[in-house]
Amino acid sequence: MVSLADLFEQSIHYKPGEVLTREGDENRDLYILSEGTLEISIKGDDGQVVVGEVHPPEIIGEISFLNGSPRTATITAKTEVEIYILSYYQVEHEMSEIPAWFKLILRTLTQRMQSCSNKIKEMEEEVKKLKEE
């Protein structure tokens, strides 16, 4: 079994404005933010819409990591950032050993999180339209 110390020996640094991952990307890596601030944005009618910021310590990318779905948002460094990356493929064997009942729970939770995210996006677009009227 791979230890966390082995997985997180090295960090990666990003400069303000650098994109860690884009909405729709297919990679399954999990990001652990240890320093700096990240900006989370999603595609809107008028381009990218900032929906939040992330500060350390925080885990990002859990939905794609757990169920393999495309990225639900774009993550950009707002400040100098230090990130540790846990590659899904480094722990794929351990993930395959998770009991089927627990995988079902994880899949259900991530699907519900995605559904909530989509509903929030729809509500934000409706609010924007109402403000314009």
Q: What is the pLDDT of residues 56-68, one digit of tens each?
A: 989 999 888 888 8
Tell me the backbone φ, ψ of residue 114, rounded to 5 degrees.
-65, -40
Residue 13 has pLDDT above 80, yes or no: yes
pLDDT tens, 23-51? 999 988 999 999 999 999 988 777 888 88
Enter the DSSP assignment of 12: E
Structure confidence at residue 18 as a pLDDT band (50, 70, 90):
very high
Mean pLDDT of 70-91: 90
**Whole-number mean pLDDT of the chain?**
85
- Percent of all residues in the chain with a pLDDT value above 70, rounded to a whole number: 93
Residue 80 has pLDDT above 80, yes or no: yes
Q: Are 37 and 52 in contact (CB under 8 A)?
A: no
Tell me the backbone φ, ψ of residue 45, rounded to 5 degrees.
-60, -35
* Structure tokens, 48: 């990218």
Domain boundaries, the chain: 4-132
- The CATH homologous superfamily to which domain 4-132 belongs is Jelly Rolls (2.60.120.10)
Its sign, for the CA torsion 99, 100, 101, 102, is positive
Q: Are 107 and 66 in contact (CB under 8 A)?
A: yes
Rounded Cα gap, residues 108 and 106, in angstroms: 5
What pLDDT was estimated at residue 74? 94
